[in-house]
Amino acid sequence: MTITVTPLSDVLGAAVTDIDLSRELASDTISKIKEAWHEYTVLVFPNQSINDEQQEKFCRHFGELELVRTTNVANDHPHVMMITNVTDTGKPTALEDGEMMFHYDQCYYERPCLGATLYSIEVPDEGGNTLFANCTKAYEALPQKWKNRISSLKALNYYNYGSSPTTRPENIDTKTPQWVHPVVRIHPETGQKALYVSRLMSMRIQDVSTEESDEILYYLFDHMEQSQFVYEHIWSVGELLMWDNRCSVHARTYFAPEKRRMMRRVTVRDPVPVI
């Protein structure tokens, strides 16, 4: 099988075609997909028809699967979660309607997921797009004085799914998942540096005043969310999208609550800590 990789933007993202993810994939095909993933950060596989097991099988080519952590899951598929506002799926669901701020998945744990996949089952006719920001390019574009300033800083990352799943919280509950990670992380496979903070989940810089923490974080948030670093994916039904969670943040655009949006997510566990 010879796949075709077509860039989707100058920022990140590529479409992978001439491939059927419901079939067994050869090792050289997986190698080409991994190469493209490292180059483009986000890969989109259009016109696919895959079930839970096939999505899980595809993800296992990239590592061990991560258990769903934010909600109850089905015993037969503990790695599968429906990201949807639809209530009649018969499966565990998470994240209702509306928009959602930029974030790294699971950065509030010691080992956030390596990457994740979404498979589109239903999409609204307007809105509900996914924005991806290239945090490697955002870091590289920083003035040198800012690179020097943040080189050894760490930030507290926090997420309360129960009270503020889509917007930045005003208060931190000490019993809710949270973890401190470097503000700049190094990708373990490419060796590239990326900004590792996000507006939704990075609450404060460690060992500095509140004023300085806010100054640093909001400067970085505004910088990395500039349009020059962002690709907006407009969904079609039957797409599998995978992103590298070590060097890109993502956000959801608004969609009307009466519109149905249903995505199936499977994530891949990261075997190494954030450095």
DSSP for 62-91 reads TSPBPPP-SS---TT-TTEEEEES-S-SSS
Question: 90-104, 174-188, 240-254: which has the minimum mean pLDDT?
Answer: 90-104
Q: Bridge partners of 14?
A: 7, 43
The model's pLDDT over 214-249, given as tens digits with 9 standing for 90+, comes to 999 999 999 999 999 999 999 999 999 999 999 999
How many Å apart are CA 32 and CA 84, to the nearest integer? 31
CA distances to 6, 28, 82, 138, 143 from 10, in Å: 11, 26, 30, 13, 21
Give the pLDDT of residue 161: 85
Give the pLDDT of residue 87: 79
Give the pLDDT of residue 72: 57
Q: What is the distance of C-alpha 184 from the center of its chain?
A: 17
Q: Is residue 183's pLDDT more than 80?
A: yes
Residue 181 DSSP class? E
Write down the mean pLDDT value for the chain. 93
Give the max Cα distance, the chain: 56
Question: 29-38, 74-83, 203-212: which has the minimum mean pLDDT?
Answer: 74-83
How many Å apart are CA 184 and CA 174, to the nearest integer? 24
Give the pLDDT of residue 78: 79
The model's pLDDT over 123-181, given as tens digits with 9 standing for 90+, comes to 999 999 999 999 999 999 999 999 999 999 999 999 998 888 889 998 999 999 999 99
Give the pLDDT of residue 93: 67
Give the pLDDT of residue 82: 87
Kindly report the pTM of this predicted structure: 0.94
Q: Is residue 264's pLDDT more than 80?
A: yes
- The two tokens of residue 274 are 């954030």
Q: Is residue 212's pLDDT more than 90?
A: yes
Give the pLDDT of residue 68: 79
CB atoms within 10 A of CB 29: 17
Write the CB contacts of 176 (distance below 8 Å, at least 6 apart in sequence): 158, 159, 160
Edge-first strand listing for the sheet containing 100-103: 100-103, 248-252, 130-134, 230-233
Residue 172 DSSP class? -
